[in-house]
Amino acid sequence: MSALSDTDALRQRIEARLEALRDEIDAKLGDAVDVTQALEHVGDNGDQSVVDDAATADFADARRDLDEYHAGRAALKRLDAGTYGACETCGEDIPRERLAASPFAARCIACQTRAEHDSGMRPTSM
Ligand SMILES: [Zn+2]
């Protein structure tokens, strides 16, 4: 009974975050488009690189939000499937404190650290 209301509270929390992310992504992409349009009115090259940098930063921000948005959607799917809270790599329960801090977490800390390590470092030898 309490597990169900926990799930409902969690779902609401995730959906609220997803809605906020949608707004942020819209706003940032809107800014980036404004900046891109401003390019057409830029005269000298110096101004243009400033405008380019601004557009790139907006797109990078939106990109990060989009990654988080996808992670949130995946978390909702796990919630529906009843697998939420289990590490998708090793299957162990993700500690509650970790889920409280990052409700979109799909892996336990050990597996997340390993995944980031693996993706950040190119294998140089086999
Ligand atoms: Zn794990």
Q: So where are the chain's domains?
A: 2-120
Rg (CA), the chain: 20
Confidence of residue 124 (pLDDT cuts 50, 70, 90): low
Could you list which residues have their CB under 5 Å from ion ligand 1? 87, 89-90, 108, 111
How far does residue 36's CA lie from ligand 1's centre (Å)? 42
The residue assigned the tokens 């401003």 is 38
**Helices within the chain (DSSP H only):** 2-39, 45-81, 96-101, 109-120
- Span 13-32, pLDDT tens digits: 999 999 999 999 999 999 88
| pTM of structure | 0.75
Give the tokens for residue 64: 């990060």
Q: Residue 72's closest CA among 14, 7, 13?
A: 14
Give the right CATH number for 2-120 from 1.20.120.910, 3.10.20.600, 3.40.50.620, 3.30.360.10. 1.20.120.910
